[in-house]
Structure 1
Amino acid sequence: MERKNLVIAGGGSTYTLGMIKSLISEKDNFPLRSIIFFDNDEKRQTQIAEAAEIILKEQYPELEHFDCTTDKKTAFQKADVVFVQIRTGGLKMRELDEQIPLRHGVVGQETCGPGGMAYGFRSIKDMIQLVNDIRFYAKDAWILNYTNPAAIVAEALRRVFPDDYKLVNICDMPIAIMHSYASLLDMDVWDLVPEYFGLNHFGWFTKLEDLQGNDLTNRIKEKIIHEGFVPTDSEIANDVSWKKTFEQARNMLLDFPEYLPNTYLQYYLYPEELAEKESINNTRARQVINGREKRVHETCRQICKDKSTENVILESDIHGVYMVRAAASFVYNHKELYIVMVENNGVIANLPKEAMVEVPALLTVNGPKPLAIGEIPIFYKGLIEAQLAYEQLVADAYFERSYHKLLQALTLNRTVVDTDKAKAILDDLIQANEGYWPELQK
């Protein structure tokens, strides 16, 4: 296979070392000539990059070139594939995204509810600019975007780049859930074949089969109900917050047994319960700052001090492997089945054609080829249509600079519902996001 040039946009992310390990573990399936990190935060990226360079010299000696840069031309001019993982505002703004809704008794979460809206509103401008920059220097590169909140970002990018089939929005949550299903069955996750429908962070598995076509769905349901459900991917397996999230999946299955839920649905189906469980002084962002953020930078310092990886534990994770294998399927036309976001266009027959839905698709050199879902039942259709309207209104509000439409969006969201709450939260978010959000017209 021809070796490719990869750029990781957002090279300073705490997920980057896991991605490097995933690229190493998958180097026979996705061989690379070069890896370049690109970030607008030079200081943050440099520490990650120095550790990454040591790892690559040890474990990927056949890689011809590694670099990190803040210069767009240097980063993108020879890119074949770009992984995008930016976070506008960083963890400091994420903490405000979570704290402000909690002050009003509403779910405070990174991608769901008002926090997700705030993060999405910050992300749109930077994502559009980044895609334009990539396309200026590398018009044929594959862009795999997993920047959160993926649903809002994907809706905005769909409007600005409607014909760019090499720009693909993809989320690792379905495969992380499948990893836990596979553990329940004592199987390899890559031996599971999913049927799935929904929006990003708002979907359901309708069936899971093995490679021989045997239906495993009921076995998975029974095991979750009788044995419980826990995260098993290395990145989240020991995280207390993720453990609680996976526990809640059992309750969702008991209440709505027809399909297996995406874990993020807990925020929409039990918003009052979830809001009560959160602590404004110990948000998820604060846990990340004190947990993964601290751990990753300590690991980097140790690697740089030793000039080797002998005193650290480094693992690939399902998030990274999923993105790498998806990229390989596109680049080498493997036509493998992955759950990705695509414009609906009749895939889910009773949803609008312009909806950005999350469904299984064959990943080909000509882009994703989604599998037809048909019509979905009215309960799920109703939930999705409300969530879709919220996402589309957020995008409308951004492009139209409309306070009114952003208020409509928040009022529609199942985590909020109440107009007075929506207005109070929105006003607080506007103040907190000064300099990040466009000025809104009332």
Structure 2
Amino acid sequence: MKKQRLVVAGSGSTYTMGMMMSLIEEKDNFPLQDVVFYDTDEQRQERNAKATEILFKERYPELNSFSYTTNKEEAFKDADFVFVQIRTGGLAMREQDEQISLKHGVVGQETCGPGGMAYGLRSIKDMIELVKDIRSYSSEAWILNYTNPAAIVADALSREFPDDSRLLNICDMPIAIMISYAKLLDIDVWDLVPEYFGLNHFGWFTKIYDKAGNDHTERLKRLIIETGFKPEDTEIANDVSWQKTFEQARQMLIDFPEFLPNTYLQYYLYPDELAAKEDPNRTRARQVIEGRQKRVHDTCDQIIAEGSAENSDLHVDIHGVFMIKAAEALAYNTAERFIVIVKNNGVIANLPSDTMVEVPCTLTSQGPKPYAIGDIPTFNKGLIEGQRAYEKLVVDAYFENNKQKLVEALTLNRTVVNVNKAKNIVGDLLEANKGYWPDFQ
């Protein structure tokens, strides 16, 4: 089994340490020769890197080398895999996005509505540049992109790199939801076989089977409605915001019982209620800054100070495991099934072929092989078409430097709808994102 050279781009992320624990957990299935951290923020990267160096010495001694750098050539030359998780503007810009949205009475959220548009427009430029950098040094590396908002980023990358068959956009939300399904059903999550369709953060599970072919869908629906629904992944299980999100998913199932919803649909189905509950002085970004970010930074500081990870509160999380298991399938042709983002090309028969859809695929050494979905129902199709139009307009606006299309995009988005709000929000976001967004005309 070939050992891989892995690069983590955006290694200053608060998710990096969980991913490193996942690499250790999966080292027999995804063996590594070298691990390299790359980030443009040297200081933020260094904390994670110094803690990881200690962690690997204790728990991954067979690793040939670990290094960290801000030099592109040093990072990407001869890479086999690049895991990408960048956040242009950091959490400070996320907090601004959310506060601007809430100021206008609409959902303040990282990937949905105006916040998703703002973050997406910041991400596109850096993601395109990063992929070009990777390809200049490693033309055959697999690039697994986690950067949000994945739907907008995937659309932009598909346009910029239409022939790059080794660039895959993925999201861990479906598997994070499936962990909760697995807990309710008392089945290992990796033994579940989902049927699913939609866009990223905008989809539905239609069936949940196990690997023996048993259908657990109706039983699962009953359990969620009768006993409740809560997050089970260790990274989010104790997070009050995520607990409320999973409670709302139960309500979505009650209101629309045909399919099991992705949790992010709450922002589009109940936008006014969710916006009204938010505190502009304590948005989700502020909660992350004071919660997960502080916890991760304190843990890294403790490891560095003690010179050991023995007493650290580090754990494997689904964010890392999902990325690594997908990489295993691509590297070793295991033909495992995952929900990932691909160009539609007839997979969902009654949606446009260029739509970037999130569907089950077999991952092979030749890339993802999606399962045909066929036609989807009118209600779900109508919701998806509206969301897809919003996403397309945002990406059109980026490539065309067209401010009017941003107004059109938010007017279509179910979290906004009102054209006057759309115009005012675009104006405020343009001012806040100077230096990040294109020079819109």
Query: 1-side partners of 2:35 and 2:16: how far apart?
Result: 12
Query: 2-side partners of 1:399 and 1:125: how far apart?
Result: 10
Structure 1 residue aligned with 2:436: 436
Structure 1 residue aligned with 2:323: 323
Q: 1:21-420 counterparts in 2 under 5 A?
A: 21-420=21-420
Structure 2 residue identity aligned to 1:124: I
1:5 Cα offset (Å): 0.3
Secondary structure (helix, strand or coil) at the match of 2:107 reads coil
1:165 Cα offset (Å): 1.1
How far does the alpha carbon of each residue in 1:223-258 deviate from its partner, in whole angstroms, 9 at most, with x for none? 100000000000000000000000000100000000
Query: 1-side partners of 2:35 and 2:117: how far apart?
Result: 32
Secondary structure (helix, strand or coil) at the match of 1:144 reads strand
Structure 2 residue identity aligned to 1:160: E
Residues 10 and 84 in structure 2, CA contact (< 8 A), matched pair in contact too: yes
Secondary structure (helix, strand or coil) at the match of 2:298 reads helix
Structure 2 residue aligned with 1:14: 14
Runs of 4 or more above 6 Å deviation: none
How far does the alpha carbon of each residue in 1:289-317 deviate from its partner, in whole angstroms, 9 at most, with x for none? 00000000000010001100122121111
How far does the alpha carbon of each residue in 1:365-413 deviate from its partner, in whole angstroms, 9 at most, with x for none? 1110000000000000000000000000000000000001111001000
Query: 1-side partners of 2:335 and 2:152: how far apart?
Result: 27
Structure 2 residue identity aligned to 1:424: N
Secondary structure (helix, strand or coil) at the match of 1:329 reads helix
1:157 Cα offset (Å): 0.2
Secondary structure (helix, strand or coil) at the match of 1:5 reads strand
1:185 Cα offset (Å): 1.0
Length-normalised TM-score, structure 1: 0.99
1:197 Cα offset (Å): 0.0
Point out where structure 2 has 5 or more consecutive residues left out of the alignment.
none
Query: 2-side partners of 1:327 and 1:201: how far apart?
Result: 21
Secondary structure (helix, strand or coil) at the match of 2:351 reads coil
Query: 1-side partners of 2:269 and 2:165: how far apart?
Result: 34
Structure 2 residue identity aligned to 1:76: F
How far does the alpha carbon of each residue in 1:127-180 deviate from its partner, in whole angstroms, 9 at most, with x for none? 000000000000000000010000000000000000111100000000000000
1:117 Cα offset (Å): 0.3
Query: 1-side partners of 2:89 and 2:9: how far apart?
Result: 15
Q: RMSD across aligned C-alpha pairs, in angstroms? A: 0.5
Secondary structure (helix, strand or coil) at the match of 1:285 reads helix
Query: 2-side partners of 1:424 and 1:173: how far apart?
Result: 31
Structure 1 residue identity aligned to 2:214: N
Deviates more, 1:306-315 or 1:98-107: 306-315
Structure 1 residue identity aligned to 2:425: I
Query: 2-side partners of 1:427 and 1:202: how far apart?
Result: 26
Length-normalised TM-score, structure 2: 1.00
1:52 Cα offset (Å): 0.5
1:33 Cα offset (Å): 0.2
Residues 38 and 68 in structure 2, CA contact (< 8 A), matched pair in contact too: yes
Secondary structure (helix, strand or coil) at the match of 1:132 reads helix
How far does the alpha carbon of each residue in 1:103-125 deviate from its partner, in whole angstroms, 9 at most, with x for none? 00000000000000000000000
Residues 151 and 356 in structure 2, CA contact (< 8 A), matched pair in contact too: yes
1:331 Cα offset (Å): 0.9
Deviates more, 1:32-41 or 1:311-320: 311-320
Structure 1 residue identity aligned to 2:4: K
How far does the alpha carbon of each residue in 1:416-442 deviate from its partner, in whole angstroms, 9 at most, with x for none? 00000000111000000000001111x
Structure 2 residue identity aligned to 1:121: L
Number of residue pairs the alignment of both structures matches: 441
Query: 1-side partners of 2:312 and 2:329: how far apart?
Result: 32
Deviates more, 1:51-60 or 1:312-321: 312-321
Residues 15 and 319 in structure 2, CA contact (< 8 A), matched pair in contact too: no
Structure 1 residue identity aligned to 2:79: A
Structure 2 residue identity aligned to 1:26: E
Query: 2-side partners of 1:269 and 1:36: how far apart?
Result: 42
Structure 1 residue identity aligned to 2:242: W
